[in-house]
Chains A and B, each alone.
Chain A
Amino acid sequence: MPTLLTRRSYQGAYLAAWLLLGSLLVFLVKVSGGIGTLEATVLLVPMAVLFAAACLSAWYTCRATPLRTSGMTRIFATHLLAAFVLSFAWSQIGRLYARALASSPTFSGLDVRYDAHSATIVISGVLLYLLNVGFFYVLIAIEASRAAEARVLETSVLARDAELKALKAQVNPHFLFNSLNSISALTSSDPAKAREMCILLAEFLRMTLGLGEKASIPLSEELSLVRRFLAIEKVRFGARLQMTEEVSEECKTMLIPPLLLQPLIENAVTHGIANLPDGGSVRLAAHSENGRLSILVENTFDAEATPGHRNGMGLANVRQRLEARYQKLASMRVAPNATLFQVNLSLPAEPREEQS
């Protein structure tokens, strides 16, 4: 059966259409004369319902002869043959039915009158069958286009998921190579510091890889990742990099998507501090109010040395992820002024659920 007709509402519509066609048949037969309205109705309406069921078989013939790939001759030959065979069989069943009805006094002689109309009935059957074939071809086309739409949607969802995953797990190669260079410098001048930095870097990488897998993490976990990142960058930039953190204890337990702040902090360092010959500071602040968690990442920057689009990637990534997760419930506001670059996040405060 056509997939669409597995739905009850469509089944009803299909049957209703056939009842209408049945009435039309009654009208036709009556107009051609010799058969009364009652006779025609009692005879033809059940026959129409029977033919409706029989015509469902056209679905398989239609599927077996797709419009696009089968030749015209084949399409016509298949459906005409099927139409005649089915219609003839149907008219024969109708004759048996008329004969049975004729045994009752009300319909006496109906079999004879039926035979007079048998040609009309066979031809009507053929036309009805072909109408049905047309209808099924339309249904097949609708189903195909729906399936195609669903596939497109599915692939775009998959693509976005993959993209988000890739963005989450991204470690900036500059950061990595520069850190390795710092370690290499420290090995001779300060071996203990070199070891400390190796450990910081290893922890940072391990956390980045691990956190990306989770759906949400407490802000405190993100903070410990960010602190490691800044500690590593501090070794590189020395006094040029200053940082402050103002996060309340309450906020630290709240849940956020993992690696949400890391790209912002990284932006602040690579596009803000790194462009200032005399350095600057990065500030991370979080507070909660009225069921919302507000996070601010702020850094000093040089508006002229930092073209807007270079900041784009990291920020767009965070914005996309917020949208995917919270839709309209979260917002991100980027506010650069002459010397400060501010990113404000506002998201629903999700307290951590008590673990049993």
Chain B
Amino acid sequence: MSAASEKKIDALIVDDEELARQVLRELLQVHPEIQVVAECANGFEAVKAVVAHKPALMFLDVQMPKLSGFDVLELIEEDVAVIFVTAYDQYAMKAFEVHAVDYLLKPIGRERFEAALERAKKRIGEKMQPVQELVTAARPPQQYLERLVVRDGTRVTLIPAAKLDYVEAQDDYVALATQGAKHLKQQTIASVEAGLDPARFVRIHRSYIVNFERVVRIEPYGKDSRLAILADGTRLPVSRTGYARLKSLLDDRA
């Protein structure tokens, strides 16, 4: 057999339930080519383990405390083949189907597991699809993000949407401004905007989304443009369309 001489595939098992991890371990026993390098009981551990071990394959539970499987995927930049594991989540399952990520439903059967593993092996080394679309599709309709996740090295920060002051586009990144600090994240401003509640956040400029609650006043600035002054004194540019959006939101609230 040539399999033995092949390089082993490093894999990560992420699930908050010990018994669920045990099932995956057992299913992997007949696959000596897969080496489980770490088991994680939550998303924070998973992010750390991905940075530390750079696994090629990851079994990722969707429902976990604080950081969900989607959050974890959103936070890692490494190319890793992901097999999602979930008990029941109608929206998530639809998203998996549409975006062709492998997924397994609990309880996990041997046959389905083998098929998913085969597909994942083929995909190892390929560039991962942008995860944003999957995350957006997996969100139940009419539900907006309650919080955003950012990572700095292995440190993960959760920013509740209510504490987000504004978002600024910076090349391939966005800066999330909250309580005087800025967190960089690799994401487009349009996809951030799509996740935020339009009744609370307004795109005031090509490069800015502002938390409506933070705006204290609007000042004219030059010809055809304005400045939004936030509660902490921050001044953000407001474009003409941005001003129209602000006004219509103001009218809706009045």
Task: Judge whether B19 and A275 touch: CB under 8 Å.
Answer: no
A173 vs B63: C-alpha distance when bound (angstroms): 13
Assess the A178–B87 pair: CB atoms within 8 A. Answer: yes
Cβ 8 A contact of B160, one of A176, A185, A304: A304
Interface contact A184-B108, CB-CB below 8 Å: yes
A181 x B65 contact (CB < 8 A) = no
- Residues of B near A236 (CB, < 8 A) are 17, 19
**A235 and B107 in contact, given A174-B87, A277-B42, A304-B147 (Cβ under 8 angstroms):** no
Contact indicator A186/B65 (Cβ below 8 Å) = no
Complex CA distance for A183 and B87, rounded to whole angstroms? 13
A177 to B147, CA, bound (A): 27
Task: Tell whether A209 is near chain B: CB-to-CB under 8 Å.
Answer: no
Residues of A within 8 A of B65 (CB): 274-277, 302, 305
Contacts of B20 in A (CB 8 A): 178, 181-182, 185
A160 to chain B, nearest CB (A): 24
CA distance A180 to B158 in the complex (A): 32
A277 to B147, Cβ gap below 8 A? no
CB pair A307–B106 under 8 Å, yes or no, is no
Q: Tell whether B44 is near chain A: CB-to-CB under 8 Å.
A: yes
Interface on B for A, CB 8 Å cutoff? 16-20, 22-23, 26, 41-42, 44, 63, 65-66, 87-89, 105-108, 146-147, 158, 160
Say yes or no for A66: interface residue by CB 8 A criterion.
Answer: no
A177 near B66: Cβ-Cβ < 8 Å: no
CB proximity to B under 8 Å, residues A172-199: 173-174, 176-178, 180-186, 188-189
Taking A177-B105, A277-B66, A307-B146 as given, write out 9 further A-B residue pairs in contact, using a Cβ cutoff of 8 Å, ordered by the A residue number.
A174-B88, A176-B88, A177-B107, A178-B106, A181-B87, A185-B23, A188-B26, A235-B19, A304-B158
On chain A, the residues within 8 Å of B87 by CB distance are 173-174, 177-178, 181
- Least CB distance from A296 to B in Å reads 24
Min distance, Cβ A285 to any Cβ of chain B, angstroms: 25
Number of chain A residues whose Cβ lies closer than 8 Å to a Cβ of chain B: 26
Q: Which residues of A contact B42 (CB under 8 A)?
A: 277
The main secondary structure of chain A at its interface with chain B is helix
B22 touches A185 (CB 8 A): yes
User: Taking the complex as formed, is A238 at the interface, i.e. its CB lies under 8 A from any CB of chain B?
Assistant: yes
**Do the beta carbons of B106 and A173 come within 8 Å of each other?**
no
Given the complex of chains A and B, what is the CA–CA distance between A182 and B107 in angstroms? 8
The interface residues of chain A lying within 8 Å CB-to-CB of B105 are 177
Task: Report B84 CB to chain A, min CB distance, Å.
Answer: 14
Q: Which residues of B contact A177 (CB under 8 A)?
A: 87-88, 105-107
Docked-complex contact B66 and A178, CB < 8 angstroms = no
B44 partner residues in chain A, CB cutoff 8 A: 277
Give chain A nearest CB distance to B240 CB in angstroms.
Answer: 35
A97: interface (CB < 8 Å): no
Closest chain B CB from A298 CB (angstroms)? 19
Contact with B along A40-63 (1 / 0, CB 8 A): 000000000000000000000000
Residue-wise, chain A 140-177 has the 8 Å CB interface mask toward B (1 for contact) of 00000000000000000000000000000000011011
Instruction: Give the chain A neighbours of B26 by CB distance below 8 A.
Output: 185, 188
* Distance between A69 CB and nearest chain B CB, rounded to angstroms: 43
Contact across chains for A174 and B22 when beta carbons are under 8 A apart = no
Residue in A180, A183, A184, A305 whose CB lies within 8 Å of B66:
A305
Residues of chain A within 8 A of B19, CB atoms compared = 181-182, 185-186, 235-236
Contact A183 B107 (CB under 8 A): yes
**A27 interface residue, CB < 8 Å from B?**
no
Q: Is A237 an interface residue (CB 8 A)?
A: yes
**In the bound complex, CA of A34 to CA of B66 (Å):** 101
Which of chain B's residues have a CB closer than 8 A to the CB of A188? 26
Closest residue to B88 on the A side, CB-wise?
Answer: A173
CB atoms of A181 and B23 under 8 A apart: yes
Bound Cα distance A307, B44 (Å): 20
Interface string of A269-282 (1 = CB under 8 A from B): 00000111100000
A46 CB, nearest partner CB in chain B, Å: 70
Complex Cα gap A183–B108 (Å): 11
Q: Are A181 and B18 in contact (CB under 8 A)?
A: no
Find chain A residues with CB under 8 A from B106 CB: 177-178, 180-181, 184
Question: Which residues in window 67-113 of A have CB below 8 A to B?
Answer: none
- Among residues of B, the one whose C-beta sits closest to the C-beta of A306 is B146
Contact A180 B107 (CB under 8 A): yes
CA distance in complex: A178, B88 (Å): 9
Asked whether, in the complex, the Cβ of A274 is within 8 Å of the Cβ of B23, the reply is: no
User: Which of B63, B88, B108, B160 contacts A274 (CB under 8 A)?
Assistant: B63
Which single member of B16, B107, B158, B160 contacts A181 (CB below 8 Å)?
B107
* Most chain A CB inside 10 Å of its own CB: which residue of B42, B88, B108: B88
